[in-house]
Amino acid sequence: MVAYGLQAQLVAKTFWTFSVWEDQASLDAFARSDPHRHITAQLKAHMGTTRFRFVEVDGSDLPWSWAQVVASLHDD
């Protein structure tokens, strides 16, 4: 992982994460490994719908602000 951010609305139980990985293979390996795999399996029953958005970013464009992260969710 190159970078990570978390934003939360605790009362609404809503969380956003932003992570930057060197490549898709690195992200996939992390998602399949423990403790991540074990924790997400336990939390699944307590979570609502999860949505993922993948965006390619040049390292020279980092770090991103939360405004940039939110804007990327609306780019199509």
pLDDT score recorded for residue 36: 94
pLDDT string in tens for the chain (76-residue length): 999 999 999 999 888 899 999 999 999 999 999 999 999 999 999 888 888 899 999 989 999 999 999 898 887 6
pTM of the full structure? 0.77
Q: Where are the alpha helices (DSSP H) in the chain?
A: 24-32, 36-43, 66-73
SS3 14: strand
Q: How many domains does the chain have?
A: 1
Integer-rounded Cα Rg, in Å, for the chain is 14
- Domain extent for 51: 3-73
DSSP one-letter code for 22: S
Whether residue 8 contacts residue 14, with contact meaning beta carbons closer than 8 Å, is answered with yes
